[in-house]
Structure 1
Amino acid sequence: MILGMIMLMSFGLIDTFFVSLLGTDALAAISFTFPVTFTLISLNIGLGIGASAVIGRLRGQKEFHEANETATASITVAVLLVGLLAVVGMLTIEPVFSLLGADETLMPLIKQYMLVWYASGVLLAIPMVGNSVLRASGDTKTPSMIMAVGGAINAALDPLLIFGFGPIPAMGIQGAAWATLIAWLIGAVWILRLLAVKRKLMLPRLLTPSELKQYSQRVMKIGFPAAGANMLTPIAGGVMTAIVATYGAEAVAAWGVGNRLESIASIVVLALSMSLPPFISHNVGANQIERVKTAYRNVLTFIVLWQLLVFVGMWLLSPFIAEVFAEEQIVSAQIVLFLSIVPLGYGLQGIIILTNSSLNAMHLPMGALWLSILRLFVFYVPIAYVCSLYFGLKGLFWGCVLANLLMACVSLIWFKRALTQTHALHQQQEA
């Protein structure tokens, strides 16, 4: 998982790099799109979590036909829901991005990019949920390969479509969106053939409406709260982008670069958030609570130490990184400021993310949803905003770190109580 995500995130960073060569306006425009694009991606992630939890249990119970039906239903529902959200998004580009703080100068660039990206978001639903089906069936290598190849295709097409080559016209920022669409079209065809034909992990046909309703209900019971929790992140990110926008387009450009670098810096956390839940769900099911406690404690200890090393590396390399991504001195200085402060909280953020994924593994998706609400709208946004009022952009960055510290403490207490309650419930059932 780490290898696959390194490849995918690295190519996403390359995407940002090529767009940055178009100038500060293009970089600011694509930075405004991150909260919106991640909203669609979050819906896919949530449905993937629901699919993985339900299909994994069905396969453990040897209910293979029902697992295949559920896999088909999961992918179908993802395409339908993401497609609906994409249509709404296309019709509301201007009002949504105006609320985020984009001005009239950036709006044409945002429209060019988002009209194509929304279509690619629908295609992305297929490999994302399909990869969850593979992981639920015990295969983590193939999903990593699909992620890596998709990212590689996107990165290879970026310079060709953005700047043009031979008969291929220069499409500017829209070229980046077309590169993404082509990459995930290939990924969608690949995963469907793999699941329906080669592995026979889903049905090679569409479900009837009654079948779709029957087999998608359990997936959505876990998937919707998980998706809601994930979708809160880009909503909060949109609010934060609007706050940052008050400091100018240069600040938004720096914020966008910082967020892309955060994805790279958090790869190990994200990989663990996909590998820890199956371990926890199996051991909770077997009432091996001490093993769950040990795994949870060891993983969190490791991630805090690891992310501290990541922070040191990003802090030392910040001038070089800023030089790569920014031509203007003011943007470069703000990237350095971001990298010298915000990554200090990534280990604490890892505690929150891993606690959330563990609660989903324990079939407590509403607990994970409430944790996300507390993190983003009680701690993260309010604290960062208040700090920015008193200390400017630097205060906003330190506010992000403080919010992660407070929320990490809440997450540890929450998980301990949830585990105690789950253990007590198991004892009652055994009695």
Structure 2
Amino acid sequence: MRRPTSRRHAAFCQGSIMRHVVVMAGTGAIGLMAVFMVDLLNLFYISTLHNPALTAAIGFTAAVGFIQIAVSIGMSIGLGATTGRQIGAGHHDIAQRIASSFSVVMLALTSLIGFGTALLAHPILHALGAHGEAEHQAALYLYIASPLLPLIATGMGCSSLLRAVGAAQQSMNVTLAGALISAVLDPILILWMNLELEGAALSTLASRALVAVLGIYCARQHGLLARPVARFIRADTYSVGHIAVPAILTNLATPVGGIFVTHAMASFGLAAVAGQATIDRIVPVAFAFVFALTGSIGPIMSQNLGAGQVARVQETLVAALKLVMGCVALTWAVLFLGQDIVIRVFSATGTTADLIRLFCNWTIGGYVFIGMLFVANSAFNNLGYPLYSTLFNWGRATLGTIPFVWIGTRFGPMGVQVGQVMGSVLFGLGAVGMAFNVVRTLGVRPAGPESDSIPSLPPAQSAESAMIELDDLDNEAQEFDQGEEDAQNTALSDNRN
């Protein structure tokens, strides 16, 4: 019996590019907005307590948490990419072995990071500029949440495994279940039981535990996890690490830059840190569509490149940039008109309110260039130039942040915010220019059976958002599977006739 061909129907190689981008990004944005809205509500509940130290503490814990999450994101990307290749080649047993082996390493590494963070909580927070009650509250949060970092790493790893096997909807449902339980528990623990930031930490733990348990259950349903075999752990870890290490390095760039900004804001008091923390929670909700573009355009670009349709690759890049500008313009208009409502909702006063107003009036425009950087990174990763993504991400986090923010500190907390945006302008424009240059120099390389693509590595935002952004990549696999199934059904029908 002849083996079925591995070539599958490429859904994005025909039809409107703009439609493909809008549909893919729109689907991802819904999930992103749901998860980030929970984070925003969390901040709202804390702000109703009218204690700037608590709001500032959220900012400090977020800066620390981003580093932890960046490592988990990188490992989950490597795990999903490696097992996905084996599943695509029909080697499900090898995929199961790799997933089981690397799960041991992932748990060990995240346990080390989590307990280490808890033990060094005060020195770390002090280095960020935290002091007094804000430092105490942030440390309490880290004491509760950090030791159980393996929970979210497990959830993210299982989510990647589900996407690798094509169960994208199931992966999304697991993530949204965690967001739902957090939305229910936050007001109960923070307000009703008066646990304040400790309640937020407990709610986070419950959410992550649910995601981990559901993730393991679903992964086992698909035969993706089993008892690890000791003699394979080293080799399997090397296979995953080949992809995971560059992904970790790329994702570490964003939190490193964020830590420097938080430290700079801390020098101007708790109100400045609280303002920055508020903006950091508003941005993901306001720009969920922009962030979703990162994962959405990757499959469209890679399919058209594989088909030798370089013009459609460039058209995808142009369409994504148009959508970024349109989304930022619309969001800018909404927040400009509604800034007083935002300030009242979060009970912001003084410096905190001033920073929110500056963002709503002017610096929000800088997200055009941050969106450009995100789109360019996706292009680099999917067109075979992942090193460019790492270089531009780290460039923005270092050369595009440190000198500009340092100069901005001379003009107060407003100067820090403006300085952060100025660096993004330079690196956003530079990344887009390089992306167009990459597209122009592409050769026509039709994909063969031996092609082995690697998923794009999106910039880090949070554990939950990372899982949702990567879900978009699996729409491609589902379209492929449906196309192959239809072809096989047609063939069977023809044979019967």
Same fold (TM over 0.5): yes
Tell me, yes or no, if structure 1 residue 274 matches structure 2 residue 295. yes
The residue aligned with 2:207 is 183
Q: What CA deviation, in whole Å up to 9, does each residue of 1:89-138 have, x standing for no partner?
A: 11211111111000133222111111111134321112222222222333
User: Which residues of 2 match residues 153-302 of structure 1 at below 5 A?
Assistant: 153-165=181-193, 170-197=194-221, 199-200=222-223, 202-205=224-227, 207-302=228-323
Once the two structures are superposed, the pairs formed by residues 73-92 of structure 1 within 5 Å of their partners are 73-92=101-120
Q: Residues 122, 340 of structure 1: CA spacing in aligned structure 2 closer, same or farther, 3 A cutoff?
A: farther
- Equivalent residue, structure 1, for 2:481: none
Match of 1:11 in 2: 38
* Structure 2: distance between partners of 1:74 and 1:283: 33
Q: Counterpart of 1:337 in structure 2: which amino acid? A: L
Aligned to 1:372: 393
Matched, 1:147 2:175: yes
Q: Residue 2 of structure 1 aligns with which residue? A: 29
SS in 1 for 2:159: helix
Residue in structure 1 matched with residue 427 of structure 2 by the alignment: 407
Q: Which moved more, 1:418-427 or 1:278-287?
A: 418-427
Distance change in 2, residues 1:361/1:80 (3 Å) = farther
2:379 aligned partner: 358
The structure that is helix-richer by fraction is: 1
Q: Which amino acid aligns with 1:15?
A: N
Deviation at 1:232, TM superposition (A): 1.9
> Percent sequence identity over matched residues?
26
Q: Distance in 1 between matches of 2:79 and 2:442?
A: 22
Q: Distance in 2 between matches of 1:161 and 1:70?
A: 39
The residue that corresponds to 2:344 in the other structure is 323
In structure 1, stretches of 5+ residues that fail to align are none
Q: Provide the secondary structure at the position in 2 that maps to 1:378.
A: coil
Residue pair 1:380, 1:399 contacting (<8 A) in 2 also: yes
Q: Is the 8 A contact 1:34 1:234 kept in 2?
A: no
Corresponding residue to 1:99 among 80, 102, 127: 127
Q: Please say if 1:133 is aligned against 2:153.
A: no
Q: Distance between the aligned counterparts of 1:311 and 1:321, measured in 2?
A: 13
Q: Is the 8 A contact 2:307 2:445 kept in 1?
A: no
State how far apart, in whole Å, the 2-side matches of 1:252 and 1:292 are. 41
Question: Which runs of 5 or more structure 2 residues have no equivalent in the other structure?
Answer: 1-27, 452-497
Whether contact under 8 Å (2:114, 2:148) holds in the other structure is no
Q: State whether residues 290 and 327 of structure 2, in contact with CA within 8 Å, keep that contact through their aligned partners in structure 1.
A: no
Matched letter for residue 226 of structure 2? P
Aligned to 2:324, which of 291, 300, 303?
303
* Deviation (angstroms), 1:258: 0.4
Amino acid at match of 2:381: N
Residue identity in the other structure for 1:20: S
Compared CA separation, residues 17 and 393, structure 1 to 2 (3 A): same
Q: 1:266 to 1:317 in 2, by over 3 A?
A: same
- Distance in 2 (CA, whole Å) between partners of 1:53 and 1:186 is 24
Instruction: Map 1:112-127 to 2 at 5 A.
Output: 112-127=140-155
Residues 78, 243 of structure 2: 8 Å contact kept? yes
State the AA in 2 paired with 1:204: A
Asked if the contact 1:5–1:147 (Cα under 8 Å) also holds between the matched residues in 2, the reply is no
Alpha-carbon distance change, 12 to 61 in structure 1, aligned in 2, over 3 angstroms: same
- Shift of the 341–144 alpha-carbon distance from structure 1 to 2, 3 Å rule, reads farther
1:270-289: CA deviations, max 9, x gaps?
22222322333444445443
Change (3 A) 1:70 1:293: farther
* Secondary structure at the counterpart of residue 400 of structure 2: helix
Q: 8 Å contact 1:265–1:310 — kept in the other structure?
A: yes
CA distance in 1, matches of 2:170, 2:104: 21
Paired AA for residue 7 in structure 1: A
3-state SS, counterpart of residue 247 of structure 1: coil
SS at structure 2 position matched to 1:106: helix
Are the counterparts in 1 of residues 38 and 179 from structure 2 also a CA contact under 8 Å? yes
Answer yes or no: is the 8 Å Cα contact 2:264–2:405 preserved in 1: no
Counterpart Cα distance in 2 of 1:268 and 1:409: 20
Higher relative contact order (CA 8 A, sep 6+): 2
Q: CA 1:416–1:218 in structure 2 vs 1: closer, same or farther (change >3 Å)? A: farther
Query: Is the aligned partner of 1:395 residue 2:419?
Result: no
Instruction: State whether residues 45 and 128 of structure 1, in contact with CA within 8 Å, keep that contact through their aligned partners in structure 2.
Output: yes
Q: Are the counterparts in 2 of residues 325 and 332 from structure 1 also a CA contact under 8 Å?
A: no
Q: Shift of residue 325 of structure 1?
A: 0.9
Partner residue, 1:339 = 360
Distance 2:363 2:403 in 1: 16
Conserved? CA contact 1:53–1:361, under 8 Å: no
Contact 1:250-1:331 at 8 Å conserved across structures: yes
- Normalized against structure 1, the TM-score is what? 0.90
Partner residue, 2:93: 65
Higher alpha-carbon deviation: 221-230 or 56-65: 56-65
C-alpha contact 1:342 1:400 (8 A) present in aligned 2: no
**Contact kept in structure 2, 1:255 and 1:338, CA below 8 Å:** no
Structure 1 residues 282 and 83: alpha-carbon distance in aligned structure 2, compared to 1, 3 A threshold: farther
SS across alignment from 1:379: coil
